[in-house]
Amino acid sequence: MPFNQNNDNSVTLTHPSGSSAKVLLYGATVISWEVEGKERLFLSSKAKLDGTKAVRGGIPLVFPVFGKATEGPAAALPQHGFARTSTWELLGIKNDNDDVVAVQFGLGVENIDPEAQKQWPYKFGLIYTVELGKDTLTNTMEIRNDADAEDFDFQILFHSYLAVGDVSDVEVKGLEKVDYRDKTQGGKVLTQAAESEARLDITSEIDRLYVAPSETTTTVLEKGKAVVEVQRQNLKDVVVWNPWEKAPQNMGDFAPEDGWKRMICVEAGSVAEWHKLRKGDSWTGSQVLKALL
């Protein structure tokens, strides 16, 4: 059965090859993606899955703001916006064949809480497609602005928690020589070294926004072998985050104690600047996660 609506407000997609994905209607959050029987996403064992808090793990959706805005219409919104903490509508199956199984979810003004509507009073519409292939998971977001509305500015990001065996064995490729804002140094702008100079290893807390890498594929390697690729389509930037050993102290829903060793967030988005969506227009961007091992 390629698609199953579960009784816990989630849907499960199953590909003929055996790969699967599970999506909560809360936040339209992918909380599991299995390929060849192996889970490819990290999900905290204390993640709230009951709609009381954004899910700690999987692929939370960040819209209309990344991080916490200090000015402008999004300043009243919580960190990372309301998409990940709203209950989405299941729109139904989009594709169902031997190659892919795809399901769509929708979120509009009518779906978000009245407080968020007041804080961010725009007539937006989101159509989110989760497409499962044999060894790929494609996340596509279409953002619409009503024709009789006002222009609005947005940021968008797929906050993917990728599972790894041990983050100390991880190297990230595809960001060489790219400028990044280092959140651990107050947003200081630095430049990633060239591959010939230094690898992007994870040896302490990392929280970097790489601005518009020309390479559209970011590759995660473990012990020198590529294990997963994050491919961007119409998404300009990449965020790399690992909270390191203080994760459980800093986040009450982060567990187990050493869970930070088994995850790396490689987040595809357009977040380094604001993107204007004029009334009557729409915008579409996608990421393709490809499991390599």
Binding site for ligand TA6 (CB under 6 A): 54, 67, 79-80, 159, 183, 207, 239, 241, 251, 265, 267
| C-beta of 90 vs 251, nearer to ligand TA6 | 251
| C-beta of 66 vs 144, nearer to ligand TA6 | 66
Four-residue CA torsion sign, 57, 58, 59, 61? negative
| Distance of closest approach, residue 157 Cβ to ligand TA6, in angstroms | 7
| C-beta of 19 vs 242, nearer to ligand TA6 | 242
On whether the CB atoms of residues 240 and 206 are closer than 8 A, the answer is yes
| Distance of closest approach, residue 196 Cβ to ligand TA6, in angstroms | 28
Counting every residue written for the chain, the total comes to 293
Could you tell me which of 120, 178, 173 has the C-alpha nearest to residue 149? Answer: 120
| Distance of closest approach, residue 207 Cβ to ligand TA6, in angstroms | 5
Q: Is 159 a catalytic residue?
A: yes
| Distance of closest approach, residue 127 Cβ to ligand TA6, in angstroms | 23
| C-beta of 149 vs 251, nearer to ligand TA6 | 251
On whether the CB atoms of residues 277 and 150 are closer than 8 A, the answer is no
On whether the CB atoms of residues 265 and 77 are closer than 8 A, the answer is no
Task: Catalytic residue, from 159, 176, 222, 229: name it.
Answer: 159
Residue nearest ligand TA6 (C-beta atom)? 241
Q: Residue for token digits 């044999």? A: 134
On whether the CB atoms of residues 155 and 41 are closer than 8 A, the answer is no
| Distance of closest approach, residue 130 Cβ to ligand TA6, in angstroms | 20
**Pairing verdict, β 3-5 and 10-14:** antiparallel
Here the tokens at position 248 are 């459980």
- The string of DSSP letters for 139-180 reads EEEEEEE-TTS--EEEEEEE--EEE-S-GGGEEEES-TT-EE
| C-beta of 47 vs 132, nearer to ligand TA6 | 47
Q: Is 34 a catalytic residue?
A: no
What's the rounded Cα separation, in Å, for the pair 142 and 289? 18
Annotated active-site positions, please? 159, 267
